[in-house]
Every structure is written in C-alpha cells, then in structure tokens.
Amino acid sequence: MKRNIKTSLRLLTACGAMIFAGQGLAADCSSTPANPNGKASKLQNALQQATNTGKPLRLTGTYYIGSDKDASDGKTILKGITVTLRKDLIVDATAARFIAKADLDGDLFSFDTKSNDNVCENKGQLADFTWKGGDFDMSRAKVSTVVPITRLTPAGREGKDKTADALSIRGVVNTTNYHKLNELVIEYINFYGTRNNSDPFYKAGGDSGILMTGALKATIRYNNFYGVRDAAVYLSAGGDKGQFGDHFTIHDNYVERAFDGFTSKRGADNIVMRNNVLEDVVVGLSTKSVYPGWQATNVKILDNTIDNAMRAISLETTNNVMIEHNEINKLGDVVAGQTSTSKANFNAYADAFEGIALNGVQGTNTIRNNEIRGVTGSAREGTTTTWGIVHRSYEGRDTKNINKTNNTFLNLDKWSKYL
C-alpha cells in the first residue's frame, strides 16, 4: 500500500513538473525575471514577474505569438501576451523579435490596469513603463473590427476583436477611474504591418503600432513604423472625463504607409510632436476629440516633414496651438495607391488635399514658418484640389484667433481656405 502511494506521489510530481515546464512558473513578488530566450510560452510570466517586482527584464530571441494546437514546444502560445501592470515595468528587447501568427486575433502585447488589484501590494502605487527596442511583425495578424474603412480589409483577414495593437498599454480603468500609469517611454522599436514594403495601409495586419491611455507623461521616440492599418502611435487621455493623461511628446520617429501617423485623442493636454518624418499617410499629425466637447490644450507641432498626405496636420477642438517650421511636400500626390484626381478619397472632411486643417481651433494660435508644397513635375500637377491652411468650424466651435506669418506655399489651389 505504501509503495503504491509513493508511486502515485512520484507520478503526480512528475506530471506537475511537466506542466510547469510547459507553462513556466507562476510569477511571484520577489524573484528576478528571467529572459525566456525565444520561448514564447514563458514570455507572459517573465513580463508579469518584471512588473510584479519592478526589476528590469532583458528579452532576446524570436517569439511567434498566436494560436497553435500544440504549445508544448515552448515556442508558441495560444493567444497574445496579457500582463497586469503593478509596479514599474522596465524592458530591454533590443535583441528580440515578436512575430504575430496568421490567426492572432487581438493585441500582440496588452498591458492592462485592474481596479483595486493588490497583488504584490501594488494597490495605490503608480507605475512607470519603459520599453526599449524590438521588432514587432503584425503583417500576418487578423485585422481588428474598428480600423478605418473596414471595407478595404482583405477577405480572410477580418478579425473579431476590437483591438489588435502591437503594444497596448492601458493605464486607467475608465469605468472606475482607477489609475496606475505614471510615466511611459517607448523607444527604438521597429513595427512591420505589411508583408511587402510597397503595400498600402489597408493591406496591413492588426490595428495600431502603439496604443496608450492614461499616462501622466509619455515619450515616444526613435521608432520606425512600416505599414500601419490604423495609427502608428495612438496616445489618449483616460478616465470617464479624460482627466488622466497629459504631457505627451512624440519626437524623432519615422512612419510610412499608415492611415494615421501620430495622434493624440480624448482631450489630452500639453502635446508636442517634433522632428518626425512621415510618408504616404492619410492623416499625418493630429489631435482628435473623439467625444464632442473634449478639448486638447497647448499643442506644439514643430519641425516635422510630411510627404504624400491627404491631411498632413489636423487639429480638432484644440486650444493654444503652435505649428511652426514644418515641411509638407507633394500635397495632392498619390496616397495609399489612390490615383483619383477628383478627390482625396480618404479625407473625411473634404474632397481636397489639406496641408494644415484647423477644425474648431481657438485660444492663442501661431502658424508660422511652414512650407506647404503641392505636386510638381507629374501629371497630377494642377489636377488635384489642394488647400494650404484650412479654417473650419467643428463641434459647434468656430476656428478663430489664428496668427499666420512667414508661411511658404507652392502649387496650391488655395493658400488659405475658410469653410
């Protein structure tokens, strides 16, 4: 009898060891997080361990993330990576690649806030989020249900999830206003959304490159984005009234072939977008209210270069704007493979191509030393409608108090357009 009991215990122990070997040990509150070295089945626990403890984590290797009937190989997992933010998260993924499998339907990485979570005694503590480096390939992933112009999603690529971002960081629970995210820095990542380097945005997989809500300060810098179904970077205020989330800076990034380049939403204040380069985008740099009446205040857009856009700079319901020393080139040229000369197909406001769109902008505003150039040297020269600086009412707000000086216009139908 005793021999049978011992034999049973040995079997149970062996089975338990096999389970933990396949799934990785559960995260605790004190251990140093270990580099999974390319084993996707251990990636979630490694990241959870890092934020449970606040200890730095280095990631190396290649990780295939998505559905797989057999995850026992330790190289694939059954879904995207979901982690609860607790203490600081510090990740160096400079030598890592993260590749979405063709049936991934949802975020590649989702870092979430949970109301009143107190694991590892983190309740009431704000957390910083620092991520450096890594290649993120979403080109094979399913496309989310809320991307712009869903009718253009290729057949068979339609997902069922409302979110499918490479890095999703949600720093506040909007329904309870439980807030976790303090300062966020994301730098030196490379995002690939399309299989080919000439595919337009609507052939990209997933959704946005980076989505973040609720940080008290955020810096996005030195990143590259190639082919994005929605926004390369989507930063948003959070909370039921947008009260969490200000001081967002996006600088020295590159994006090509995206619907949205860099956008700030839901009334975040103190926004800076500078020294970015964007090519072939529907909307380049923007603020968007999302909910009527939610206002962004103190926005600076400086020293950016935007080529081939339908709306290069677009501000909605925004106060106190400084738009200076930007170059907008090839306005009216082909964007996302749309060759129509009669209208800018994806411009939600008008049939024209717009350099700087001021939509319900008020307060004290300066637009100066910008260069806006239309198409030259091609058959499209003079055949598309192009407006330099557009003034329009939006959400019941007139655009007013705009001081425009020393701007340069070339080959445009209208230097300024009042609607």
Which pLDDT belongs to residue 329?
Answer: 98
**Phi, psi of 177, deg, nearest 5:** 65, 25
**Spatial separation of the C-alpha atoms in residues 5 and 364, rounded to whole Å:** 81
Which pLDDT belongs to residue 124?
Answer: 92
48-96 pLDDT, tens digit each? 999 999 999 999 999 999 875 544 555 554 579 999 999 999 999 999 9
Q: CA of 338: how far to CAs of 242, 341, 342, 367, in Å?
A: 36, 9, 11, 29
Please spell the DSSP secondary structure of 148-182, one letter per residue. Answer: SSGGGSPTT-B-S-S---SEEEE-EETTTTEE-EE
pTM of this prediction?
0.91
Chain centroid to CA 56: 23
Could you tell me the residue range of the domain that residue 78 belongs to?
2-418
Which pLDDT belongs to residue 113?
Answer: 97
Which pLDDT belongs to residue 20?
Answer: 33
Pairing of strands 246-251, 217-221: parallel
Percent above pLDDT 70 for the chain: 91
Q: Would you state the structure tokens that stand for residue 384, as one six-digit string?
A: 């598309």
Which pLDDT belongs to residue 22?
Answer: 34
Please spell the DSSP secondary structure of 330-347, one letter per residue. Answer: EETS-BTTB--SS--TT-
Which pLDDT belongs to residue 382?
Answer: 87
Regions in the chain scoring below 70 on pLDDT: 1-25, 68-78
| Amino acid making up residue 101 | K
Which pLDDT belongs to residue 73?
Answer: 54
Which pLDDT belongs to residue 72?
Answer: 56
Chain centroid to CA 411: 33
Here the CATH number for the domain that contains residue 22 is 2.160.20
E strand residue ranges, 19-101? 57-65, 76-77, 81-84, 89-100
Please state, as a whole number, how many other Cβ atoms lie within 10 Å of the Cβ of residue 120. Answer: 18
Q: How many domains does the chain have?
A: 1
